[in-house]
Structure 1
Amino acid sequence: MKKIISFVLAAAMSLSTLPVLADWNNDEDIMSLLSELNIMVGDDDGNLRLDDNVSRAEFAKIAVASSSYKDTVATGLKVSPFKDVTYTHWSAPYIKAAVSAGIAEGYVDSTFRPDNTVSYEEALTMVLKVLGYTTQDFGDSWPYGQMGLANSLEITKNVNAEQGEALTRRQVARLIYNTLDTKIKDNQSKLITSVFDSKVIEGVTIIASHNEDSSLGIDKIYTTAGTFEFDGNFNSDYVGRKGDIVVKNDEDFVSFTPRDQQVEEYTVSNVIGSDIILDGDMYNINSNTTTYYKSQALTYENAAMQAEKGDTFKLFKNSNGSVDYAMLVAKDSETGTDSFDKYVIYSLLSDAVICYKNGSFEQIDITDGTTCYKDKNKSTYGAVKNEMAMGDILYVKMDGSNVDYVSYEKGNMEGPVKVTNSNWIANFDTNGSTTVMRSGNKVDASEIQLNDIIYYCKDLNMVLAYTDKVTGVYEKASPTKDSPTSVTISGKEYSVESVDAFNALSSSGTFKYGDTVTLLLGRNGEVAGVVGGSDSTSSHTTVGFVTETGKKDFTNPDNTVYSSYYAKVVTPDGTVNEYATSSDCSSLKCAVVNVSFTNGKASLSRAKGYDSVSGKFNSEKNKFGDYTLADDVKILDTAGTASDDLAMYTRIYPQRLDGVTIKSSSVLYYSKNKAGEIDELILKDITGDAYKYGVITAVDSTTHTYTIDIDGTQNTYATAFSTNVKGPHRFSMNQTGIESMRQLSSYPSNITSLTRTEAKINNQTYLLSDKVIVYHKTDVNKYLKITLDDAINGNYKLTAYYDKAQTLGGRIRIIIAQ
């Protein structure tokens, strides 16, 4: 091996992003590109058959596949396009498309002669028409006008054919390749860019694949022009090479043609200071020579700091023998695509990830300290996991049964898109096996509704529809209304996610401060769409429970202040909406109302009476009395009936009401879906879950002050109540203190058996509230909150306190341990 005694630092590389196709001489490279663009492919056995002749029918198909009409081919024809091309002939749809597009013509005898070989001049005429040229551009001198124009456009370059010659697949491939590299008539874009959204970037060096840098995804390559994704196999011999790369949609790798380079490969024998010993020899390498290591561009001097014995060191020289750059490849790259598993993130748990792979879900247990690569930077899973979302990609390397390390990258999530019509699915490249999820439930595509916000995850092949909405008064845009990145609606700030929402809420949009608007929230709780308050739901009138009314001041963009009445209404799904109202609605507080709109202002009216409904809940059969509940039924339990009462509410689920008998007088509102199932239900004080529960620890009857402990927090309040009873109570708490309170009842006997969900007393089983509070009573007036596990495992005498009978919706609220 010749010893290298000097190196010349290559000039800084500049990348041309012009869509200019390289002058490729390798037929296989050309066919690779045409196959990737779905223009010409090999036979079923993968043979290119480059020396076979091409028929007129085959060339018509190739010409259409190269043109802007490639998506107009209609299969299932019922009419024959020519008398010698029946509608059952394989080529009939392509010939029909070619003729309709003006690319091909038949003969005067109404035949097409599909099996005849295509001649040189016939092929030139068709590709010129693909580029937009017509008979007027050719003149009347057939075929010399066509051949002259094709020669001037350099479409015939390296085709090596003559007039009248039958073309082979090799010549056709070169002809189509040249055509792709030609500008469309009266257009500055070349055919490959205009039709296939592809371009060629010249002088690109492929720096790394996953094999050289484990932080890259298995289907990613890192180059001097950026990171690209490939589909299928990638030739690892390309790594380190400089050449011309074809990319599609600015992100997908299509093909690569390496330039002529001299590549010299060495093994690192040792590292001494800033010098790398190569195959036992020390070479005089300029310390500033660009040296690629993993996905980094270093100097040779810095690369020496990374090199270890056994690594591979490559030198890349240009045609005149000068060194362009070098590459260091670690001997033990944390790689090997066979050692990595690719997963799509579906859901995140505290110390695990639910992932999707090959049609099934798996749980991967990952600790926060696990090494995690992101954007080629080494970090930990704990530092990165908050950035992860459904549809993102996780590469996992196992060490036996444990996770060794992971690599994370953002997934291919399309959207958000606001549903405005029934043809919403046309926005995405879905197929018959695409799963549609709406609010976490698997549904049919027909169940997607207007104003749903949808995304499409290609890796999951799943459409995700989100239905969360919030209605309120538009108060502020930040940083300005001209350019809002977030908006304040009824005192709460929301980030703006989509262009659609940005336009609607900006100065040029339809909404102004003080308007009642409905925000359509996407998968991260950000604003993905906006509609007027009256459009908050697509299926029926907005109905809810009024929790607050009043009047407040609003500030216009010009800083003028105006006052407006408002009302807060909670819908059966637990969402609180605030509306600017046209009048004072204080008399409707604690009432169930219909909400309608006029000129952006809400009008509230008491909800109409409905047929009475009553009966016993059976969550297993999904029934309420004689009625069936919808799978996604929304139930709101409320407390407060008069306009001067404290309005309280809680969202509950059918399981919470299992076995509870409800009278019709306790049903304030219900609605049915198209299937006749109850889909919304508002109840009057059935569960008691809207209240607070705690203990009174001290009473001063003179000043009417009470010290109470709620969930371990003690406060003293002055009230108008008069009681000397201490211990467990139920409370209604307003912003300043106690609105009302009621003593809880105790079971006469102690708890004999306790679990996390139930207590056994005198051989009877009673359910615990999911928010049961346990106090250790250490003295007459001293209560110390302890955990439920402490009570289960400790040696205590346990007394249970409840609010009402279990069959009426009651639960054990407090347990006293002594």
Structure 2
Amino acid sequence: MRKLTVFLLCAVLCFSLVTAPAAAASVDKTTSAAAALNMMGALQGDGSGDLNLGGALTRAQFCKIAVVVLGLGKNVGQYAGYTIFPDVPASGWASGYVNLAVRSAGIMSGYTNGKFGPDDVITYGQAVTVLMKMLGYTTADVGYTWPDSFILKAADVGLTDGVSLSKNDTVTRGSAAILFVNLLNAEMNGGAKKFMETISGATVVSDVFLASKNAKTDSGETGAVNVAGSKSGTYLPEGTVPSGLVGAYGALVLNAAGKALVFVPAGTGKTVVSTVSSATASSITCADGTKISVSSSASFYLNGTAKTYGDSWVDIGGGMLVSAYYSDGGTVQSVLVADTDSTAGSVTVVTTDGYALPSAAAVYINGAKSTAADIEKYDVVSDSGSGIYNVTRRRVTGRYDDATPNTSSPGTVKVLGTEFEVLDSASASLSGFKIGDTITLLLTSDNKVAGAVSGSALSNTNYGVVTALTTSSATVALSNGVTVSGAVQSVGTDVVKGSLVTVGSYDAGTIYLSAVGSASSASALSVAAGTLGSLSLSKAVTVYECVGASAVSKIELADILVDTVSGSKIKFYATDPAGDVSILLLNDVTGDVYTYGFIKNGTVTQSSGGLSATNPTTSIINGDGTTTAVTGTTGLTNDTPAGIAATGSGTLAGYAALTAVSGVSRTSFHEDADGTLYVTTASGYIPVADNVQAYIESSETWAALSKARSVSDNLTIYYDKTPAAGGKVRVVIAH
């Protein structure tokens, strides 16, 4: 939630898009359809790559596209070398395509004068007839008035969606592209399969976004297609993948060898891509002010992995690609968010103090709206060519463990037990290092190495939260978004899962973890001014929060709904080489670390040294189920609305008692222009937490807040703190 006035606040998080335009724009159907045919090898451009979509198609050219789309392009050679039509000589380029289409596929025919007319422009009526035959329709199926009967039936099956032509009109290359993509999406006569499923040896991966065309396969091969959706995966392409398909929603067709043959954009609905300015738990705001509303029911994919938007939107940062697919009904059905593809534009490592950019440039540093003046030495600047510069201050320091194929020209390097891909432009900066050196990697937003410097040249400490820990290995989510894993060299006795730690390495393939100490500041945090006492907050500051000894959670500055946080609430902070605060750990400020719902008390019997004891336990019941019981008690009775926070070792770290306001009407809830939901009460406005828990008494079920409000006009809300103290509504009961 970000601040509005007095008690109204709404969260804001900046994030942006790879090669997408600054303004929100629907993916052009003609362009994406042409890109699909180009990927398939069916539609090719001139020497400069221009597909000439406004140009007319000849009958021979249309015939070639049809044969390739049928998946029969490999058979053309068998049909070349002889003549069926006097105007299609055996020596001509089109003979194999024409002969196959006429003799084998039976989808085209010549004129009554015995000629084919290869150089005649193809008319709409002729084109539609060919495509309908490819779907398995005959004159007996559609009627005997040619070509009108074919055109009418084609409209019924969706073949001509997006094309408005008369039967004798010339078909342009762009219109043909739309028709062929409609064909790929259309059902065959009889409805058993879609046309794309009938391509010889084809496997179809439906309802996916094309997230990247520069992904890496599990075996290390680059230039692969990555899709995210109903099934996520990475596949090497059969041909070239046009950039115009990145971000599109549709289906990926694999050939018999398992390679990506073509990505088919969805035949209905629309896909919107854009550089994004900000996000809340319910919407995404684009740079031009366009708002994309995202419901909790929408499918959401982050870097190729299915996520819940409500739980994951806080992980969306600047420089990320966003694509939203709208159904025909106008609602957002699926959303893709992916890191910037660092191969899509130029990448520069800043080697001096100061960096010049055009005056109109939009600058984001680690997702935060910034200016060129905020760019520092060793930052990585990515320019997608759209006037938006995504700057990353993402660094990893550790022992140089390994390089492939060699240290002179590495394609990948291993640091902190983790392998990183090296951009071609970064090889030179790594060539001077040897295995065993301490180096600092300078990373792009998609964690590729843009450059490297010695550990002594750039002071950098790796901070992160432990997400997995055993006696032999550990995984840490670093503050900069990188996740590292490795064999444990040493671990501080006070380190548990959920601890904020520093990470380093001395020996090959190993990491050591140390819990951060207590570095309380006597100075207050000014959220509005972006300062901690006399220190400025870095544009790339990472903010964490805990409750006493609880597991640490990552939050955003915008989650803090008060202007000032006292120094007593600052549990730890660290500064970057510029002297700005880059890491900040707060103690129980926002209330967001607690899990809210109904208290459930219990007991557990524990044994040690031959002695046993029965201890109290506490868990929370809410719409997500029942949390794992933790040792300790709140003193509250069962079914009391409250919140608890747990330590990484499974004990109660603290609890939040809630204050009730009864007799609240459904009409007391309001939403502002930014999508912030709040409740009007006698004591003022109280923002509603993004993850508010709602319970319906009559059915004894948990539900979405909107559902709870719809079934009752007698509600009780429970909030954690006063609005002035940054409180939020955490639980709502519908009576």
TM-score of the superposition, structure 2-length normalised? 0.49
TM-score of the superposition, structure 1-length normalised? 0.44
Select the structure of larger CA radius of gyration: 1
Higher relative contact order (CA 8 A, sep 6+): 2
